[in-house]
Structure 1
């Protein structure tokens, strides 16, 4: 999402400071007009060096506004603002929390540290209502809240019947196969085990079902993921594609898109992308998933495999016409509420309000 903002918010010049290396998004962000700087922080032993380079870089850049991105970035941005006090500080929170027991101890400590310093930013931008409420329950000030959802390029993610047919053919998917997808990195919160167990139940009723899974770690090369594949029938009817660069094509090839996370979800990009491609969605009530989907899909009460299977089978049983209607409604929802143009305009307005308030005491327009 950061790369999308950099490429779409054209009234501001962006300088992106990476705590670690430049990463795969450096190229797209540079193409969007940003300058990229890296602190090359590889381990805890490098904190002193990175902490010394950051003040020098901030003084050189002379920013009008400093924005952090996720927990570690928010703390780094708070430190950076010490050396540029004329620039207002903004945090950006990209997740909901769910059950803190699922978090690594180090992540919990970082979260508590963020809560302790959360009075410092002039504004805290969340991408979901759920994320805002859960962070505020930990001590983040509600008075700083601004909610700006994720945005989607509806020209890149769209329904293209010819491309869909070509992609399915290339993947060995038969015309009458029903393809159910889970596009997500391999992580316990994403509930791959629940989805795969549900797949076995779905195949009992709909043997023509196929399952397409993609995302970092979702491949035969990952032993931990491999350990989940106990059902040979599910394995035979599934595609495990790992991390891919052709997500518009893969998403458009689906008949149903699932996001069955059990915790920690904020605003799932995979669901917005599927809706833009006119693919009906099934979600669990995590983060803002229910709010995003609306009537363009179905909600399963939890991540249990029986619940997921019932939701998928119910959608298939509704028939192609009903599924197509939900898909069309989903694309309309994305265009109306979550287009990248609309989200970029919200960021531009937020940045201008925050800077004007910081410099001149101008009122900040209310946010959700």
Structure 2
């Protein structure tokens, strides 16, 4: 008889489970790996979030350790050690710097688990607080000791972290994968949300997605759009993401005058991203720093024509299916957006179809999950 093996036990550690690139990739990985071969649990250093609730609803065990501030760190670390010991996982997989450091240390206290760190940013010095940069530097010093493997979302991330001092021999690249079935344009969602948001069907809508963070450089995108709007009366813009609300003083400061403010919609954080993307005609990534940008891949998978700054692996992702411009250059961004605004809806749809095909052929979720599973197997010698 063929010997039946118990599923490989993997405990994930992440600082929070609100909506974000790492959080969504963790969710996709956990929900799409083979349940007969892998059992996943998630330890959240912080408190409840949207993605965490979605995982729990899907039957995944999620435990929150209660980190709310620096003063909680000692107790949270003790809880983390106890939980990992109780789980007795074969692998502890952490996501982003704070989790990498704490999980790497906790896994070494009384367990034999293999440790996988997750690097998600291009350059830790861009868009991160000084404390986060300090954590990244500590991780670099310990990277030859604590983790057995370090998985980066982009090759540019791998290279920049090696420069920071990370162990080159332990670093591997697994690009994000995208669910083609989930991300597709919906005419019903387009009509419904445009009605809800006060946008006409004839408006040409440029959209951006992401949390309010300097690295996303939404200010630069707004400058580009304000340059175009006097010449294109039907041009409107939608911004979706945490803290992207017109009541936010940081957002209002991006507008030198209120002249075109009524053509912008700031919708804050939402959990219906496929529907939100369906309202757009053009997607724009304006970041000054990225690793492997999830939102760009999701827009491409949805079938949207895209403009992106040349950051991280964005140019690799879009290849010849989108327009790539230098970061922090509002004029170049405006010119690229204008190219797509001047195209007919049919021409934009054809560009979007090519973008979707590229995701389907080169960046599918299934291939990304298989690559993570290959790392699990090679670390535990279970093939």
- Report the TM-score when normalising by structure 1: 0.92
Aligned to 1:213: 239
For 1:235-314, what aligned pairs fall within 5 Å after superposition?
235-263=261-289, 265-314=290-339
Aligned to 2:7: none
The reply on whether 1:349 has 2:374 as its aligned counterpart is yes
- Pick one of 151, 161, 166 that aligns with 1:140: 166
State the secondary structure of the residue aligned to 2:261. Answer: helix
Aligned partners of 1:343 and 1:134: how far apart in 2?
Answer: 22
Aligned partners of 2:155 and 2:126: how far apart in 1?
Answer: 21
Aligned to 1:127: 153
Shift in Å, 1:244 = 1.4
The reply on whether 1:5 has 2:29 as its aligned counterpart is yes
Tell me how large the CA RMSD over aligned residues is. Answer: 1.8
Q: Quick one: structure 1 residues 301 and 101, their matched pair in 2 at CA, closer, same or farther if it must change by over 3 Å?
A: closer
The reply on whether 1:31 has 2:47 as its aligned counterpart is no
Shift in Å, 1:60 = 1.0
Shift in Å, 1:144 = 1.2
Q: Quick one: structure 1 residues 5 and 337, their matched pair in 2 at CA, closer, same or farther if it must change by over 3 Å?
A: same
Aligned to 1:20: 46
For 1:134-213, what aligned pairs fall within 5 Å after superposition?
134-213=160-239
Shift in Å, 1:41 = 2.1
Aligned partners of 2:365 and 2:57: how far apart in 1?
Answer: 17
Aligned partners of 1:31 and 1:83: how far apart in 2?
Answer: 31
Aligned to 1:89: 115
- Pick one of 42, 48, 62 that aligns with 2:74: 48
Aligned partners of 1:277 and 1:329: how far apart in 2?
Answer: 11
Aligned to 1:366: none
Aligned to 1:72: 98
Aligned partners of 1:220 and 1:125: how far apart in 2?
Answer: 37
Aligned to 1:365: none
Gaps of 5+ in 2: 1-24
Aligned partners of 1:31 and 1:152: how far apart in 2?
Answer: 21
Aligned partners of 1:276 and 1:213: how far apart in 2?
Answer: 19
- Report the TM-score when normalising by structure 2: 0.88
Can you list the C-alpha shifts for 1:330-356, whole angstroms capped at 9, x where unaligned?
111111222222211211121111211
Gaps of 5+ in 1: 363-368
